[in-house]
Copies of this chain bind each other. A is one copy, B any other.
């Protein structure tokens, strides 16, 4: 069987970094990985060529593929477009269209890069946490939403805007199962984050997660308020193993957690549906300021490709090979500017891709 990958480079540095991940996957072909690639437009580049950020044929290609390798979207020059035409809508749209409700965002500190963090080395050395973010519900998609004239309350008669936070039981149950199972495979600890002292939606979240937890007696479940979690991630991040939370809190906390590592050019992510179909992307953005200059670090995208082999295809061996190749380049190879240090050879995006391929060959 040939694995069919839809490649969506997107904007800014997207094309350069996805090209390196494709190069690394191609290199595994000679070792028996049966894989092929088809490219599609998404984001600002799709808007420019097709008039919309998420063309129908892009969704269709994703649906006809076994997984999606995604670069990044975002283009400041399009920020004044009506919201539904902006590049970022493509990422929201494709998550929803493919029902990618489970977002895995690991935050780990590589030994060789422990000094990259703004936190004291002893606080973050060896950090390895996983944030499981619900990705297709919450206030991101809840209706009604919009602008109107207030019909009641103290501001009656004036303009107001509103959104709806909302979770149905099934949505909470399925992400809870995913998170408990992830915790089983890791350190056996799950912290569910909510604001149950204020929000009805998250009190319901807490209740359902607690219920689901009864099926996972081998996982130690705790609950934490989101404001406290934002503090605890700074105070003692290593107290966490897996964190599960809703779409909005997950957006904020996973970015905070990734910055704990100091090297967001290193962090991959996966967004999965019920049957482990997934979209894989680096957590960093499209970085238009360095686009096309062979400066971007492709490691996060290459590691996203490794996650794809693991989560969607169950090809743990190939995944580990890629991860080890990345580690050996970190240890002895050249580096892009974002992680460069005295004593290391400096290279570009393509050079980093080549170094990873060379490290694979040496295994």
Contact = CB atoms under 8 A, between A and B. Distances in A.
A204 B147 contact: yes
Nearest to A152: B143
B256 A230 contact: yes
A275 interface: no
A159 interface: yes
A171 B315 CA distance: 54
Contacts of A230: 230, 252-253, 255-256, 259
Interface string A105-117: 0000000000000
A358 interface: no
A86 interface: yes
Interface stretch (A5-13, A49-57, A193-201, A333-341): A193-201
A252 B250 CA distance: 12
B259 A146 contact: no
A142 interface: yes
Interface stretch (A26-34, A35-43, A118-126, A299-307): A118-126
Contacts of A150: 168
A345 to B, nearest CB: 26
Interface of A: 83, 86, 88, 92, 118-120, 123, 139-140, 142, 145-147, 150, 153, 155, 158-171, 195, 197-201, 203-205, 226-228, 230-231, 233-236, 248-249, 251-256, 258-260, 264
